[in-house]
Amino acid sequence: MPSKVFAVHSSPTYTMSKPSRESITLVEGLGVDDDAHKGVTVRHRSRVRRDPTQLNLRQIHLIHSELFDELCTKGFDVVPGMMGENVTTIGINLLSLPTGTRLRLGGQSIVEITGLRNPCAQLNGLIPGLMKAVLGRDEAGELVQKAGVMSVVITGGVVQSGDEILIEMPTSPHVPLSPV
């Protein structure tokens, strides 16, 4: 199955869940137009408190829809947009991609993956236990954070459900994703 955009979401206010939209507009170097997290510097409130001058490496949040299937088997009824992502994907293992991977969303938009989303306790406000459910361990016992990836907008444009996603890997050596 080709990699595709499953759904898109945005919210002009600071809310955990973001409503689905017909389309979103990505703005180069800023994020999603009409989204509370749009900006050159950090917009996530906890990060603003620490240092409001930090570059915003979390302009676009992507989650793979396959996570929702996994969570469903654990008894969590989670739907696209509920965990605050801007783009829900299908057919792509986002967590396996290295830092610096570029994703072409639709005809012209390009985002570059900066790292993993660090799940926060607000997830438990949606469904008790959800934060723990998006954390796991690999074969070596290392923590696996499954709540998606963060990225920045390299080239802006309109993104909508059904758009194809093309993957451009960075040059080697590949750097594994870490929380941003």
Question: What's the gap between Cα 4 and its chain centre?
Answer: 14
pLDDT of residue 47: 80
pLDDT score at 107: 87
Which single residue is written with the structure tokens 């993993």? 116
pLDDT, tens digit (0-9, with 9 covering 90-100), for 127-179: 999 999 999 998 999 999 999 999 999 999 999 999 999 999 999 999 999 99
C-beta neighbour count of 64 within 10 angstroms: 24
Residue 103's Cβ-side half-sphere holds a number of Cα atoms within 13 Å equal to 31
**How many whole angstroms separate alpha carbon 96 and alpha carbon 176?**
8
Q: What is the mean pLDDT of the chain?
A: 95
Domains and CATH numbers, the chain: 4-168 (2.40.33.20)
